[in-house]
C-alpha cells in the first residue's frame, strides 16, 4: 500500500535544499540538488516509519509567507 506524505522544501543560505515531513517527528534531510533531496527524503521517510506510529489526521493546506517589521 502506498502512502503519500507532504514534504516542505526550503533552500538555505549556502544553497542546500532542506526537506521536512511535518507529520513525522524528526523526519528531515538535506542535499545540494533537488533530485538527490527527493531520493534522500524517501529513504528518511522509510526509516521514520520503522520507528514511529503515525496517524495522519491533519490535512495539508499550504504554506504562507508572512512579513513583519522587526
In percent, the amount of the chain with pLDDT more than 70 equals: 97
CA atoms within 13 A on the CB side of 28: 12
Note the pLDDT of residue 54: 73
Whether the per-residue pLDDT at 29 is higher than 70: the answer is yes
What's domain 1-70's architecture? 2-Layer Sandwich (3.30)
Beta bridge partner(s), residue 20: 8, 28
pLDDT tens sequence across 34-59: 999 999 999 999 999 998 877 667 78
- pTM summary value: 0.82
Mean pLDDT along residues 60-67: 87
How do the domains of the chain map onto residue ranges? 1-70
Amino acid at each position: 500500500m502506498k502512502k503519500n506524505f507532504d514534504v516542505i522544501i526550503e533552500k538555505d543560505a549556502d544553497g542546500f535544499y532542506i526537506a521536512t515531513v511535518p507529520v513525522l517527528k524528526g523526519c528531515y534531510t538535506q542535499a545540494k540538488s533537488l533530485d538527490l533531496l527527493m531520493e534522500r527524503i524517501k529513504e528518511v521517510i522509510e526509516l521514520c516509519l520503522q520507528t514511529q506510529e503515525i496517524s495522519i489526521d491533519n490535512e495539508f493546506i499550504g504554506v504562507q509567507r508572512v512579513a513583519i517589521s522587526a
